[in-house]
Structure 1
């Protein structure tokens, strides 16, 4: 991720990548290597830092950089829970610097198109959304920091499902206060690192409902989000990435059809995207937030807090169900 972020900003005339730090990759590169992350944070000639670290380091590194007077771009998740995000927000307010989070999926071409169409009002209000986001992992996964709850904060939900939750919130411009979820690890059997989440959510203010399946036992990588509105629908299948694991982005859009059973597929529009422009678009947003003087408007700490609050609620379902199962196995004691 650090290399991707460096490449996304180096084309800007008013930006120079000064130093990089990586405790694992020490191979020669085009940038000066710092001995520690703190060296970058303490450098008075550096204005902004990108935090591309294992999850457990995100919160403290972000706070440290803000306190040192740096603008900060941090990868997701911002922290392990909503309470920790509030700690970060306190540092952000005190520093008066730009803080932006890498909810990169907002910047994919198909999602940008969906957002524009929804905001146009042509299709009416959102009724419901459905998202499926899954990948396959192998035994090598068990040897990575992502398989350690103390380092990752959780499993597939905080790793990948967080993006789908963020899209739900972004597209609906709402929140979810009613949440029911099943959180399990039945295949990889890693303690506190779930391999599947099924969640159903509702915004009681708007009535918008959403369902999420986040999984690492999807043996064929899959990304799909469906948004059904009063006067039409939008279905995005695929997500353009460097590995092409999820295929090209194909967005299908249509207004409500004629009365069934005479409804046809002929009135659908299809938009295909073969290039991933999300990294450059996201870098542009961060740099504009700094130079424009208005702060971040996308990937803000408040948006990060909102999605982490949903994740807290989903994980609380897991704890509650585990407690109920324990009581059942022990005769209700």
Structure 2
């Protein structure tokens, strides 16, 4: 599978590094109006400033979209209409309607559309999901997550802080990962209440902090707090069932060592839990890429596909609506 990457920022470099390691000769071209020549030279491929030129190449089978979100739909649909498979970074689009068009294009053209939900591929999260599916913790009652970073100086000047380029602020930027995990563990979400704030980055037109409560169609609940003012990076994802729990802490790197803590309800015996450590570098990018290629080969839905991207986006925009209306909002 030959690959074109659109965009030349941090995500492009992550994807390109993964491809170079796993499929050394498959990266053909990187496109960006800004730094494509320099980045392409680093990874030994061609470059162009015109994304349409890259997408139209007959020797390209897969397009990875690593641009700001306002370009996701246009580029992805153009690629899929040419029969290319697409891995588009999250959030899938800047509106539900755009995301629906992307999903429809993938179906019409018989191609695979993957949303960049690499968190599903972290080993601790995969193991927690496996244990839940095996019924180790009984019926799942609720999930709880904290996900935060230390915002950079002058973050207000980055594209992530520009409403014309981004789909939302911190609640969308990192929170959409957790919303996707909530859906994965709990099933479809049906209602949400949300509160967003600008605690520190006062000049930013998008939120630097968001809290939300969700209820799933099964009646399970979920709580999310995501923020740019964590000061020390943090990731925590908890799943509690009638008979026990699974807690994922850390993602490696600045988020701390990845680990899975599991415990069982026991009203009589002394309390104890077991911790599994996942040492080494972040493997989620490699696992996600290989799963994507496998889905293409097997002509099946990938883990975290376009529909998952659409539904996570739908839930996030419902949360913003809740913030505006100051009440619970149905997710539909």
- TM (norm. structure 2) is 0.89
Deviation at 1:15, TM superposition (A): 6.0
Where do 1:126-275 residues align within 5 Å? 126-172=140-186, 174-190=187-203, 192-203=205-216, 205-240=217-252, 244-259=253-268, 263-265=270-272, 268-275=273-280
Q: 1:189 and 1:255 mapped to 2: Cα distance?
A: 44
Match of 2:286 among 276, 280, 285: 280
The reply to whether residue 9 of structure 1 matches residue 22 of structure 2 is no
Q: 2:172 and 2:317 mapped to 1: Cα distance?
A: 10
Aligned length: 312
- Paired position in structure 2 for 1:330: none
Q: 2:24 and 2:307 mapped to 1: Cα distance?
A: 28
User: Residue deviations 1:263-300, cap 9 Å, x none?
Assistant: 423xx1111112311111100111111122x2323111
- Paired position in structure 2 for 1:306: 311
Deviation at 1:12, TM superposition (A): 4.2
From the superposition, tell whether residues 100 and 15 of structure 1 become closer, same or farther in structure 2 (CA, over 3 Å): farther
Q: Contact 1:21 / 1:34 at 8 angstroms: preserved in 2?
A: yes
Q: 1:69 and 1:288 mapped to 2: Cα distance?
A: 17
- Paired position in structure 2 for 1:331: none
Considering only CA atoms, is the larger Rg found in Structure 1 or Structure 2? 1
From the superposition, tell whether residues 15 and 296 of structure 1 become closer, same or farther in structure 2 (CA, over 3 Å): farther
Q: 1:184 and 1:60 mapped to 2: Cα distance?
A: 31
Q: 1:126 and 1:192 mapped to 2: Cα distance?
A: 37
Q: 1:23 and 1:221 mapped to 2: Cα distance?
A: 31
Q: 1:236 and 1:312 mapped to 2: Cα distance?
A: 26
Deviation at 1:190, TM superposition (A): 4.1
- Paired position in structure 2 for 1:96: 110
From the superposition, tell whether residues 13 and 237 of structure 1 become closer, same or farther in structure 2 (CA, over 3 Å): closer
Higher share in strand: 2
Deviation at 1:94, TM superposition (A): 1.8
Q: 1:195 and 1:78 mapped to 2: Cα distance?
A: 20
Where do 1:52-63 residues align within 5 Å? 52-63=66-77
